[in-house]
């Protein structure tokens, strides 16, 4: 295994296939390495293979030329077409961005034709690749993993996730916010997204969101609203129904519009979920409830991002409302006195 690929091996690739099978937050974290590939190989056509749940966010990444979709098992014919296309059109370089074992990426790498196939060592499926980078440790941040991959490719690397929000979405986002808030916001806009309902340990308890929201309402630092992701409407409505005052809820929106809304708020209070990464990618400050693993491996390390971190490696649920308020209140006071985003 070598950390640096010889320049003569890479050559001047004109066709690059990138594999990434994951969700919203996973993809946002990959945007720095995708930028690196574009800068390193400006003449190459970069084709990105994503899963069903990644296509919408991938469309906001300007670093790729083509998005190909690996569908669920319910669409075998479409997946056979994808595999046939990867075989029929050989690439000069194939890069697997999945740093953990993935049967889907292994199968695609095996069927695809490419002169060089680069991946992280995963202990499973390594045979499908021609070049392997050392296996990441359990405490290596995802951005550091991709920094190693960029170094192997001789590519520049800036560990700041980013996406492009279509300009036409900004006006629509402004209208959505004004409608939810009943007019132009008076003071900073603070949004709360208590998402990740399917991952118990990454979800701060709902009753604690209620108590924290009551403190926010009493403190009166600005305009407050809740956000709900796809399939989360009932859970978010149940939280809001327990509040002493009415708080508006933004319903699920298309990815580009969600990004535009996040770009126009002043602070996002959020669980460790894809919305936190999306907010960071558009430059919006975040406040997250984290277990130590998520803090160590996944969350933004630069920019205006704050968090309250549990003593637990795996779970954020033991964080108290008092502990969260102690960390959150300075961010709120800063917003109130230095509101620079609008």
Query: Whole-angstrom Cα distance, residue 284 to residue 151?
Result: 29
pLDDT less than 50: residues of the chain = 1-2, 340-342
What pLDDT score was predicted for residue 339? 53
User: pLDDT (tens digit, 9 = 90+) per residue, 196-228?
Assistant: 999 999 999 999 999 999 999 999 888 999 999
User: pLDDT (tens digit, 9 = 90+) per residue, 98-157?
Assistant: 999 999 999 999 999 999 999 999 989 999 999 999 999 999 999 999 999 999 999 999
CATH of 7-152, one of 3.40.930.10, 3.40.50.720, 1.10.8.80, 3.40.50.2000: 3.40.50.2000
Query: Whole-angstrom Cα distance, residue 74 to residue 102?
Result: 18
Each domain of the chain, given as residue ranges in start order, spans 7-152, 167-337
Angle between helices 24-40 and 274-281 (to 10 degrees): 40
Query: Is 7-152's fold the same as 167-337's?
Result: yes
Contact assessment for residue 33 and residue 153, using Cβ atoms and an 8 Å cutoff: no
Q: Over the range 24-41, which residues count as b (16 or more CB within 10 Å of their CB) and which as e?
A: bbbbbbbbbbbbbbbebb
Query: Whole-angstrom Cα distance, residue 107 to residue 111?
Result: 6
Nearest to 239 by CA among 228, 230, 252: 228
DSSP state of 71: -
167-337: CATH topology is Rossmann fold (3.40.50)
What pLDDT score was predicted for residue 338? 60
CB atoms within 10 A of CB 215: 15
Q: What does the block give as tokens for 80?
A: 């056979």
Q: Over the range 111-120, which residues count as b (16 or more CB within 10 Å of their CB) and which as e?
A: ebebebbbbb
Query: In the sheet that 305-309 helps form, which strands lie side by side, from edge to edge?
Result: 249-250, 223-227, 189-193, 267-271, 286-290, 305-309
Instruction: Dihedral sign for Cα 250, 300, 286, 163, please.
Output: negative
């Amino acid at each position: 295994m070598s950390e640096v690929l010889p320049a003569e091996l890479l050559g001047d690739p004109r066709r690059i296939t990138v594999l990434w099978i994951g969700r919203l937050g996973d993809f946002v974290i990959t945007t720095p390495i995708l930028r690196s590939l574009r800068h390193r190989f400006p003449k190459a056509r970069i084709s990105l293979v994503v899963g069903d749940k990644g296509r919408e966010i991938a469309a906001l990444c300007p670093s790729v030329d083509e998005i190909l979709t690996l569908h669920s098992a319910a669409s075998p014919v479409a997946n056979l077409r994808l595999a046939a296309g990867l075989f029929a059109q050989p690439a000069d370089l194939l890069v697997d961005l999945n740093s953990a074992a993935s049967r889907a990426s292994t199968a695609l790498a095996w069927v695809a034709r490419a002169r060089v196939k680069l991946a992280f060592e995963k202990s499973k499926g390594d045979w499908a690749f021609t070049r392997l980078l050392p296996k990441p440790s359990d405490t290596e941040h995802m951005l550091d993993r991709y920094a190693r991959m960029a170094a192997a490719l001789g590519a520049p690397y800036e560990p700041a996730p980013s996406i492009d929000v279509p300009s036409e979405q900004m006006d629509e986002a402004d209208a959505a916010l004004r409608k939810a808030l009943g007019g132009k916001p008076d003071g900073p806009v603070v949004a709360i997204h208590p998402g990740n309902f399917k991952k118990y340990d990454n979800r701060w308890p709902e009753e604690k969101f209620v108590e924290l929201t009551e403190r926010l309402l009493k403190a009166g630092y600005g305009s407050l609203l809740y956000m709900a992701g796809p399939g989360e409407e009932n859970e978010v409505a149940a939280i809001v129904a327990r509040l002493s005052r009415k708080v508006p809820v933004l319903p699920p929106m298309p990815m580009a519009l969600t990004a535009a809304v996040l770009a126009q708020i002043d602070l996002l209070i959020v669980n460790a979920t894809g919305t936190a990464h999306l907010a960071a990618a558009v430059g919006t400050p975040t406040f997250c409830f984290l277990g130590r693993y998520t803090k160590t491996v996944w969350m933004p390390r630069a920019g205006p991002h704050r968090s309250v971190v549990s003593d637990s490696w795996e779970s954020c649920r033991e964080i108290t409302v008092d502990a969260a308020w102690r960390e959150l209140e300075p961010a709120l006071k800063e917003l109130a006195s230095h509101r620079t985003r609008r």
